[in-house]
Chain A
Amino acid sequence: MNEIKVGVFLSDCGKQLSKILNFEALTDYVKSVPGVTLIGRSNEFRRGKGLQTIVDAIKNGKVNRIVVAENLPKLSEVEIAQAVEDAGLNPYLVEVVDLKDHCAWPHRDTPSEATEKAKAMLLAAIERAKLLEPIEKLEFPALKSALVIGGGIAGIQAAIDLADLQFEVHVIEKEPFLGGLAARAGRFFPTDDCAICIQSPASDVKTITHTSRKCVYRSGFSKLPKLDVHTNSKVVEVEGVPGNYKAKIEKKPRYVDETKCVGCDLCTPVCPVEVPDHFNVGLKTRKAIYMNIPSVYPPVYVIDGEVCKFHDCAKCVEVCPTNAIDLNQKSEQKTLNVGAIIVATGFQEFDSNAIKEYHYEDPNVITNLEIARMIDGFGPTRGKIVRPSDLKPAKKIVFVQCVGSRDKRWNEYCSGICCMISLKHAALIKSVNPDADVTICYIDIRTTGREHEDYYEKAREMGIKFVKGRPTEISRDGETGRLIVDVEDALLKRILELEADLVVLAPAMVPAEGTKELAEILSIDLDKDGFFKEYNAKLRPTETKLRGVYLCGGATFPKDAPTVSLHAHSAAMKTAKFLSNGKVVKDQRTAVVNEEYCGDCEFCPVTCPYGAISLEETTDGHFVATVSDLLCEGCGICVGTCPLGAIELRHFKPDQMKAQMKGLMSINGTLKPLILALCCSECGGTTVDSSGMAMMKYPANVRAMKVPCTGILQVHHFFYAFKLGAQGIMVVGCKSDGCHYETGVQKAEKKVELAKILLKEYGIEPERLEMFNMVYIDGDKFAEAAQKMTDKLQRLGQLQLMGGR
């Protein structure tokens, strides 16, 4: 093994640090540390001449481990690592310490104490650097193809984007026709154009300008060479890893050959079977062989296998001029190999039957989706607004908002789009039938989008009435047969009994059927409301915790069409970015299992937020954990969980961690009790940085040490720190619900709780160990907490470890 030669490079940040820290003393000290072969000093080491010094030292073979004291550690780390790699040394053999923000600035009032702390920080970095090992770059193949689950407007939009970029795309739709909920919605706000209108693919040769948009069926998107549409299909199983998934698809028989059917409609008149039409929410009937509306895609008929009489009838087979009907079709399974998956499964209306007092079973009580079908000229009533009970014109119409939404008994959230949907429908009714008496009963009208308030204003202009109140009951008047809506107008403080021919409920929008099953198939999470959960609502709105699985449209929450469109483009972009190189490149900063110690427990596979750990059976019948380097994010939560210490991070090994702790605790230099602040490298550690950057003051006895995530910590780490001389420990992690690795900080909180119990057992004051949840902007709070902790420990006095230390 090569001799370890550590080069220590001290930047005094343009002579600012040397005003506080005694650099001569630091240099002398570093010289005395075994293994240090070179000491450099400069104004700056992260670029220019300073950086060149490091590069030269590597090239000359003078050093093979680098410790740089430089400010802006995160930025410096990147710049220095790049240069070091170019110079031929593995970039993970570099350790950066921040003498400015973690030492000089916060302790500028006590320069000699700060200098002593700086010595400890440098020692810790040197000792850790000596134990660092090279980390290799890994490459994994990624197929340039994607699976889009859901053929509504979100899925279609994302698929067009990807196919335009030359990725192979498969769109899976469970219904026989594309379009999803949008196809049934008729018109969209705020453009009032058709739901079936989509953006034309850029590669459509007949597209004249980039603004071109067309109906789904004539858009030509299905003719994109790289795009394949699978209707009547669903995903039943997904295997594999990001970049390389095998998705098993089950396609129900259509009984009509898509390549032969010409859509002549000779088949439907002869079909003797008549059933309620699901597409039109039961407002009309359809035949066993049918097409939803004339403008659907694919423009071919389908036979409903559940009601068709097949060979007992076969009349359609007789009349079909192209022999397109095949009653013997069977369902088929196929496997698609794709690099990434986009989930675009959308949402659906909440079942209003749940709210008994609204009597949804009454034919004249309908939902927004049903009134949308009525308003649609292609719909069951050809655009006429009628009472379903007797098909007579509906004169008095009452809308009821928030049916099952903003309701703690069903769905606590506001679906966000129902106010606009009802306003749109009320206005459309009024525009064809100005005499209609339309009332909207609401709790709050929410028209928060661009041009949305215009709808509210237009509704008032049109004479649509508004009652601020949520109806308690809808009943039928025994004499007139009309519906009665019991509601209080809270503004008038008057109880009203509104008469109505037709009541339109605005139900909550809930996750589409099958959402839960799909989440299980893909191993991704749902949020508390049952929608797919994105990785971070602000930063990664279309990504999941799994690389390679993306979300868009209503699958994450109810959305209006413009937002769905935005979301779909974003998901397509993220997918393209992931697949574009045909490979996934990442560093092997991952966990690794020591098979000798690992045995027959399931802690780490269950704990890993990324599903990166699996159990493999050994030849002697035991089970050991195996980590997927592709899936592992290197957080170390598994390390914190393993009861046997059988798993470790390649970039954060136990001996490296201990060496660092030992260094930090080796020199006090103050008369105050030593405190070890164990911070995560995300929000927690950044809080300590920001505290220094903003020149907040706290005493020099507080020593921060960054770990990848506080989830890596185990109870023994705390005891080890106490043994080394720490009088108190602060654990600084992200906010409880804001851990960058999902659950790490929550695990740390639990371990701190547990350790406090143990400390008590051992006769040590549990308040010597405290958990803090902080983010960048809490820098002042960190400084305050550090000061308070110091005061508290001074009151408690010297720590008495068992065995009389």
Chain B
Amino acid sequence: MGSPTQESGSIDVASTVSQAVSPRAGPRHDSARRQAIRRFVRHKAALVGLCVLVLISVLAIAAPVIAPHDPNFTRVDLRNMAPSPTNLLGTDGIGRDVLSRLLYASQVSLAVGISAAFVATAIGLIVGLIAGTVGGLVDMLAMRLTDVVLSVPSLIAIAIVAGLVGGGFWIVVLVLGLFGWTEAARVVRAAVLSLREQDFVIAARGLGGNDLWVIRKHLLFHALPPLTVTATFTVARALLTEAGLSFLGIGVQPPQATWGNMLSDAQGLNVLTSLPWLWIPPGVAIFITVVAVNLVGDGLRDALDPHDLH
């Protein structure tokens, strides 16, 4: 489905960086941060998104407490029951409570999305930092590598690898990370390149700071705002990709429920026609979560990059 990051191209990065290195931002970064927070709070849609995300996270974490039933407890005599006071969202084909499974599924889906974004961002950060600071042949190789990874759409590459290796939580997280780092790498590299020539970085180097020290002290800090935005959109993409993989049966495997594999049962015509409580709730859950994450991402971009036209 549509990439949630279609607008965070290199232009955004460049302007974010130029904002970050403006003379005001350096010594008074505390007040710049406060300004950013103020801009984020003014972005009403982003605030709504954040509230929804917090609510979903609380529901996911509290699943063991608030779930009315054991998500894996099967009651064959109570299978395919329509929603009722005891089973608010009905039961599935082997009599498990759909609401309880939905709550536990949100734990797994959110964990996959966040962990995968973390892995992808970490890889991107390392590749981007190395490419940007070392430069030369290493930089060229790193950029060719991103071209290679980008030449096959990530969903397809991920489906091939996860499908052959066999699904499972950690495999899905690793594969999502392995094919999802290019954007982060480009963002970090662009930040590093534009900063390397800045006077204060040259000065820091001149004062005897070695490259590692300069990276830790300055480059990393200034690459952080655009990287945060990218990481947020990566979470949204990872959520959608995990759902797609699990829907195809090559993602996180049952009985561990995720929103995607709860939906994959709906491929049967019978479920689709007469058991809508089995497939509508997980689909709506994915939709609401991804919208919320994208809104937060939009808000972060506007907050961290006031030059942008939104």
The answer to whether A and B assemble together is no
